[in-house]
Structure formats: C-alpha cells, structure tokens
Amino acid sequence: MLSKTMQDAINEQIQKEYYSSYLYLAMAAYCEASNLPGSAKWMRIQSHEELSHAMKLYDHVCDRGGRVTLHAIQQPPVEYKSALDTFQKVLEHEQHVTASIHKLYALSVKENDYPAQITLQWFVTEQVEEEKSAGLIVEQLKAVGESKTSLMLLDRHLAKRGA
C-alpha cells in the first residue's frame, strides 16, 4: 500500500512531468516558427517522452492502490532568444527535474517504500541521459556560434532523433 505522503509526492511529480511535456511542446512551436524543423522534431519527441514518464508514475500509484489526483499545469514560456537559449532552458529544466526526482527518491528511502525506490531508480538513470543529451546540444550550439550554416546542419542532425 502506498502511503499518503508518497502518493501526494508522486502526484506532484506527475504534474511536473505533464508540465515538462507542455514546455517541450511550446519549445517545439517556437522552433517551428524559427525555421528549425529538426529542433522542433527533437522537442516534440521530448514532449511525448515526458508524457510517458507521467504515465509511468500514474500507473505506479494505481498499481499500489493509490489515487492519482491531477494538478493544474501552468502555461510555459513561448518565446526564446535563440536556439542556444532554448536548449539552455532545456538543460536547466532537466536539472530541475533531476533535483525533484532525487527529492522524491530520498522520500521513498525515508518511507522505506521499496517499490517506489525501484520505480524511481529508473527515473534517476533516465535523468542522467536527459541532462547528458541536453548538455551536448548546448555545447554544440555554443561551438557553432553565429554561423547560420552550422546551425542548419545541427538542426538537420537533430531531425534524425527517433529515425
């Protein structure tokens, strides 16, 4: 049985995962409007991935006899300064999510909630991958600087995600 404390904390994380999906969809729209279809595709895939993360937590709560309660999702930012600014915000957001997952994992340890620890271990590992991916793109965008040609080549590379 899932404790009320863990249930409430996981419900908060579900909201954060849905917000992440919404944020990446807003970033995809910005990239589309900025003629960066590869970046937009990367963001849309990321949005779908975040939805699957929310559902993984949703299922965990339900499987353990808990009650999912969905919280409101705030509107994400819709404007960014550049592709670099957008991906820097991606990295910052992923670091924020990592901190949230770590806090949730620490609570599962405190609560001696072994099933939650197993589920959350997957998220801990996933966040390492998320930060690595976003960080690499940020460094690549810094390397290309103001070169529009290089930006277009990098955008084409990002379009290959999921292909």
In-domain check, residue 163: no
Predicted pLDDT of residue 138: 97
Determine how many CB atoms are found less than 10 A away from the CB of residue 99.
11
pLDDT digits (tens, 9 = 90+) for 43-66: 999 999 999 999 999 999 999 999
Q: What is the pTM of this model?
A: 0.94
In-domain check, residue 144: yes
Q: Classify residue 6 by burial, with Cβ atoms within 10 Å: 0-12, 13-18, 19+.
A: buried
pLDDT digits (tens, 9 = 90+) for 23-43: 999 999 999 999 999 999 999
Q: Classify residue 48 by burial, with Cβ atoms within 10 Å: 0-12, 13-18, 19+.
A: middle
> Is pLDDT of 1 > 90?
no
In-domain check, residue 65: yes
Structurally, how many domains does the chain consist of? Answer: 1
Q: Which of 11-20, 58-67, 117-126, 142-151 is predicted least confidently?
A: 142-151
In-domain check, residue 131: yes
SS3 94: helix
* C-alpha to C-alpha distance for 120 and 79, rounded to whole angstroms: 32
In-domain check, residue 53: yes
Looking at residue 90, its amino acid is V
Residue 146's pLDDT band, with cuts at 50, 70 and 90, is confident
In-domain check, residue 113: yes
In-domain check, residue 34: yes
Q: Which domain holds residue 11?
A: 4-158
pLDDT digits (tens, 9 = 90+) for 75-121: 999 999 999 999 999 999 999 999 999 999 999 999 999 999 999 99
Provide the CATH number for the domain around residue 31: 1.20.1260.10
In-domain check, residue 32: yes
Six-digit token string for 137? 């793109």
